[in-house]
Amino acid sequence: MKNIIVLGATGSIGDSVLSVIKQNKNKLNLLGITFNSNISKAKDIINEFKLKNVYSESDESHISLKHTFKDNYELNILRDKAELEELLNKNDVDIIVSAVSGFAGLESTIMAAKTGKKILLANKESIVVAGDIVLPLANEHSTQIIP
């Protein structure tokens, strides 16, 4: 079983990744997601996959999730970047999918590059704009990047 974190789970690429995970439940497990502002879709994903970890920097998203899932003591609702970095570095994480679109995905891709995990990179800006930063970091930490 491979444990996966999807960065940018509520976008179109995130949709495709979640569909693959659903079709391969015996091989793939969704361990956590990040999202920006699509609260409704994030809630659906949390419920469908019985998630234990979700991250959003958005104040509105954070408040809404805390309210909706106030009785779900197994759900870790993360908001701080240090918490996200800790999640990405957990021993049970096997694969990180970087599906945040545009330049917004750079910071989380840099975090992922430092983990030593396998990164499935759907964010071309991370390589085009900051390849001279991301690729040496990945190499230094033995992180495998698969575009």
Segment 73-126, tens digit of pLDDT: 899 999 999 999 999 999 999 999 999 987 778 899 999 999 999 999 998 888
pTM, two decimals, is 0.94
Cα–Cα dist 22/16, whole Å:
10
Cα–Cα dist 118/138, whole Å:
10
Tell me which CATH homologous superfamily contains domain 2-146.
NAD(P)-binding Rossmann-like Domain (3.40.50.720)
Q: Is the pLDDT reported for residue 134 higher than 90? A: yes
Q: Which residue has the tokens 């992922």?
A: 112
> Region 132-138: what's the mean pLDDT?
93
3-state class (DSSP) for residue 95: strand
pLDDT tens, position by position, 35-73: 999 999 999 999 999 999 999 999 999 999 999 999 888
Cα–Cα dist 136/131, whole Å:
8
Per the structure block, which two tokens stand in for 91?
């021993």
**Which string of b and e fits 34-45 if b means at least 16 CB within 10 Å?**
bbbebbebbbeb
Per the structure block, which two tokens stand in for 13?
């690429």
State the pLDDT at residue 126.
86
> Region 8-22: what's the mean pLDDT?
97
State the pLDDT at residue 64.
96
Q: What is the C-alpha radius of gyration for the chain, rounded to an integer number of angstroms?
A: 14
Q: Domain-by-domain residue ranges, the chain?
A: 2-146
Query: What number of CA atoms fall less than 13 Å from residue 127's CA on the CB side?
Result: 11
